[in-house]
Structure 1
Amino acid sequence: MKKLVCVLMLAAAFSIERTTACTTFFLEKSGQMAFGKNYDWMTGTGSINTNLRGLAKSSLRLDDGKILKWVSKYGSTTFNQYGKEFPNGGMNEKGLVVELMWLSESQYPKKDDRPGLSVLQWIQYQLDNNATVDEVLATDKTVRITSTGTPQHYLVADSKGAVATIELLGGKMVVHRNDKLPYAALANSTYEESINAMKNKRTNDNSLDRFSNACTMLQQYKQAKTTKPLVDYSFDILNKVAQPGFTKWSIVYDLTNKKIFFKTSNRPQQKIVAMNAFDYACSSQARSYNLNRDDKGDISKRFVSFNIEENKKMVKKAFKESEGLNIKDELQDAVGEFAEGVKCG
């Protein structure tokens, strides 16, 4: 299992030279809240999974840290590509949203007394255990993000309207929130660089352009007297910052009503997932949905029981479509089989 981290590292590292990955933002107006995410990558293969509360879990066995064990407090719905329990992002039943993006400048903490979590499992840990941004930030005292080659940063938001960027710079967590977060958006540059470039109108860069465009549209929506629904406008922003050929998933989380809206590049019909359509009790069955099915509208009832064999197939397909990767079968199996060991606590 220790090699699993290296597998995910290779997948990310190979891709970054071909695409600058992902744009996120948070938008609030008149008590309504939405969180948008474009997932830009080589492949759009993936699934949406429900994750139950009351599950006993443990962290990957990493070379530089202790094992962390916990029992999930909250159910969640996540977007997964390299296997269940290692999400790209998602929302839990309390309305906490966590999403990640590539950041080349990331420098993770060195080994210390805190157990370490890989960049993807850290997302699942936060959704399992926390309801607010404050709670997420507090975990830095007890848990660290660890990686040897997957430089990421995060945008997080909750149903109370709190939002923050989380970056790992110089081995420490750097947070922007409240008055240090004039625009609730993030692409693939540090937040400080993005804000400075926007102030100086220096945005002749893919990441900085997307950040600037997203921020401008966020500001326009807040100031304009528009009746356009928040979710629809969020998709307008995602369309504006999309990268043709690389934007595989466009996702809007409705934090107020606990719904998830999404489109995929090869199935552009809008789909809706209602969080309250699922039973997140540990005694129930986890559910799953192939992201690239040809459906539209509310798909909550089209989820099927999670199947470990289908999960393994998805992982293998995702790696196969990650052009240039040569990952051994046993490592692909390790990713796909990991969720099988997660049981009710």
Structure 2
Amino acid sequence: MCTRVVWPDAAGAVIVGRNMDYHRDLATNLWTLPRGVRRDDGVRGALSWTAKFGSVVATAFDMITVDGMNEAGLAGHVLWLAESEYGDFEEDRPALSQAVWLQYFLDNFATVSEAVAWIAETKVQLVPLTDPASGEVPAIHLALDDATGDSAILEYLDGVLEVHHSSEYRVMTNSPRYEEQLTLLAQVEGFGGDRPLPGTTLASDRFARAAYYSSRLAQPVNQLGAIAAMFSVIRNAAQPFRVPDPGKPEASQTIWQVVADLANRRYVFESNTRPNIVWVDMADLDFGEQNPEKVLNLASKMSLEGGIAGNVSAEFKDDGPLRLLTLAAVEHVAAQRRGQSD
């Protein structure tokens, strides 16, 4: 499930696109989050911070940040990786819950290099959380990219965080692990091998197609052309609707996609279930500390009956703060359920 592609030289802009593939609706909303918000790790509160940068993010169930971009041009994208193993929790190491993992980087860093340096210094661990509604424990990895065209892929494998950091790492999908994806890509015609460009929805095939078509994009004449070109690539890697198989989240359908211009700070969202395109221009937003966190409720605003489209920067409303899922909340729900079953 999911594909992410970076186009670092789009006539001076850096364009990144991603598909969100999942076997059920994620009740995704868009949020504008100002500077100055206090957050903690969602695990035990040992790591806390005040957001240095404002951001625009897409959420799942308003409990986890799954995609977004901050006002400095750093963006991040959560994707599924079945091989993820986070290791045993260690009290003496900084930790982040899955729900706040991406948000930490958007709150604190302007570039991929800064984020990677912090990871190397702290050896931060990731703590998995059980979805209170479905009982799923997400198996995820994370891509970071920025307005310089830099990129990093973060994967927890066998309990150890592997960081692939290079502007050359432009494509990311799902299984297998990233270094194996690069090996498989080298077998494809045009990347060193003689295997024809594959056409299935397997993650490795989507990886090859995204790499192939993004490397052949013509230089755009304007921002509209750049965004349209990226949409053409990620739509080629999209997965069609199908009968859902909850036991195989990787066998999912594309439910929405995002294209972001990291240089010009435009965040474009397209829904496949409510087929409208909306975008947010950061120049139209005030991320000052005096401002509240605001939400754009996509379920109510995007519809087939004349829902919103276009620039929605002024449509966000104050409906209370974003409350990302915490380990304490998960444990509370589990305890309630145990009590009901006794």
Q: Report the TM-score, using the length of structure 1 for normalisation.
A: 0.77
Deviation digits for residues 45-64 of structure 1 (CA, Å, limit 9, x no counterpart): 221011121122222235xx
**CA distance in 2 between partners of 1:238 and 1:205 (Å):** 12
Counterpart selection for 1:128 from 107, 122, 135:
107
Moved more, 145-154 or 287-296: 145-154
**Percentage of matched positions with identical amino acids:** 29
**CA distance in 2 between partners of 1:267 and 1:127 (Å):** 27
**CA distance in 1 between partners of 2:81 and 2:235 (Å):** 22
Report whether the alignment pairs 1:298 with 2:285. Answer: no
Report whether the alignment pairs 1:103 with 2:81. Answer: yes
Report whether the alignment pairs 1:71 with 2:50. Answer: yes
Report whether the alignment pairs 1:235 with 2:242. Answer: no
Report the equivalent of 1:93.
71
Report the equivalent of 1:58.
40
Report the equivalent of 2:262.
255
Report the equivalent of 1:186.
172
> Structure 2 matches for 1:124-203, cutoff 5 A?
124-140=103-119, 141-142=121-122, 143-147=124-128, 149-178=137-166, 182-189=168-175, 190-201=177-188
Task: Identify, as 1 or 2, the structure richer in helix.
Answer: 1
Counterpart selection for 2:296 from 289, 295, 299:
289
Moved more, 252-261 or 271-280: 271-280
1:182 to partner: Cα distance: 4.0
Q: Which stretches in structure 2 are left out of the alignment for 5+ residues?
A: 130-136, 189-194, 242-252, 337-342
1:197 to partner: Cα distance: 1.3
1:214 to partner: Cα distance: 0.3
Report the equivalent of 1:25.
5
Change (3 A) 1:244 1:44: farther
RMSD: 2.8
SS at match of 2:290: coil
Q: Which stretches in structure 1 are left out of the alignment for 5+ residues?
A: 1-20, 316-326, 335-345
Question: Does structure 2 retain, via aligned residues, the 8 Å contact 1:133–1:158?
Answer: yes
1:139 to partner: Cα distance: 2.5
Report the equivalent of 2:134.
none
SS at match of 1:220: coil
Question: Does structure 1 retain, via aligned residues, the 8 Å contact 2:143–2:172?
Answer: yes
Report the equivalent of 2:272.
265
Report the equivalent of 2:94.
115
Report whether the alignment pairs 1:45 with 2:27. Answer: yes
Q: Report the TM-score, using the length of structure 2 for normalisation.
A: 0.78
Change (3 A) 1:173 1:205: same
